[in-house]
Amino acid sequence: MSNGVLVIFDQNQGQVRHVVPEILTVARELGVGAVTALTFGVRASETLETLGEYGAAQAVIWEHEPFTRYSSDGFADAIVELVPQVDPSVILFPASAWGKDLSPRVAELLGAGLVTDCLSLRTDANQRVIATRPIYAGKALAEVAVETPIQMFSMRPNINKAISHPVKPQVLDWTPSIGENSFRSVVVEVRQAESGTKEVTEADIVVSGGRGLKAPENFALLDQLAEVLGAAVGSSRPVADDGWVPHSYHIGQTGKVVSPTVYFAIGISGAIQHLAGISGSKYIVAINSDPEAPIFKVANYGVVGDLFQVVPALTEEIRKIKANS
Partner 1 sequence: MKVLVLMKQVPDTETRIKIRPDAQGIVEDGIKWVINPYDEFAIEEALRIREKFSGEVVIVSLGPKRVEEAVRQSLAMGADRAVIVESEQMLEPYLVVQALAKVVQDEGYDLILTGKQAVDDDSAQVGPMLAARLELPQASIVIKLDIDEGAKKLRVERELEGATEVVELPFPAVITAQRGLNEPRYPTLPNIMKAKKKEVKRIPLASLNLNLPPRVRLIQLTPPPERPEPTVLTGDSAETAKKLAELLHEQAKVI
* Residue 186 in the binding site for partner 1 (CB under 8 A): yes
* Residue 184 in the binding site for partner 1 (CB under 8 A): yes
* Residue 117 in the binding site for partner 1 (CB under 8 A): yes
* Residue 137 in the binding site for partner 1 (CB under 8 A): yes
State the minimum distance, in angstroms, from the CB of residue 283 to partner 1. 5
Separation between Cα atoms, residue 56 and residue 34, nearest integer Å: 7
State the minimum distance, in angstroms, from the CB of residue 95 to partner 1. 8
Interactions with partner 1, residue window 266-285 (CB under 8 A): 272-273, 276, 279, 282-285
Tell me the C-alpha to C-alpha distance, in Å, between residue 51 and each of 7, 100, 168, 284, 287: 10, 22, 9, 33, 41
Tell me the C-alpha to C-alpha distance, in Å, between residue 96 and each of 122, 263, 312: 21, 20, 34
SS3 100: helix
Q: Among 231, 268, 267, 229, which Cα is nearest to 252's?
A: 268
State the minimum distance, in angstroms, from the CB of residue 299 to partner 1. 5
Interactions with partner 1, residue window 54-113 (CB under 8 A): 70, 72-73, 76, 96-98, 100-109, 112-113
Stretch that binds partner 1, among 20-28, 37-45, 46-54, 189-197 (CB under 8 A): 189-197
Nearest residue (CB) to partner 1, 68 versus 248: 248
Nearest residue (CB) to partner 1, 97 versus 171: 97
Q: Which of 49, 127, 247, 290 binds partner 1 (CB under 8 A)?
A: 247
* Residue 255 in the binding site for partner 1 (CB under 8 A): yes
Separation between Cα atoms, residue 296 and residue 270, nearest integer Å: 8
Tally Cβ neighbours within 10 Å of residue 1. 6
* Residue 2 in the binding site for partner 1 (CB under 8 A): no
User: By the 8 A CB rule, do 268 and 289 touch?
Assistant: no
* Residue 125 in the binding site for partner 1 (CB under 8 A): no
C-alpha radius of gyration, the chain, whole number: 21
Interactions with partner 1, residue window 18-37 (CB under 8 A): none
Interactions with partner 1, residue window 193-212 (CB under 8 A): 193, 197-199, 201-202, 205
Report residue 84 CA to chain centroid gap. 28
DSSP letter, residue 82: H
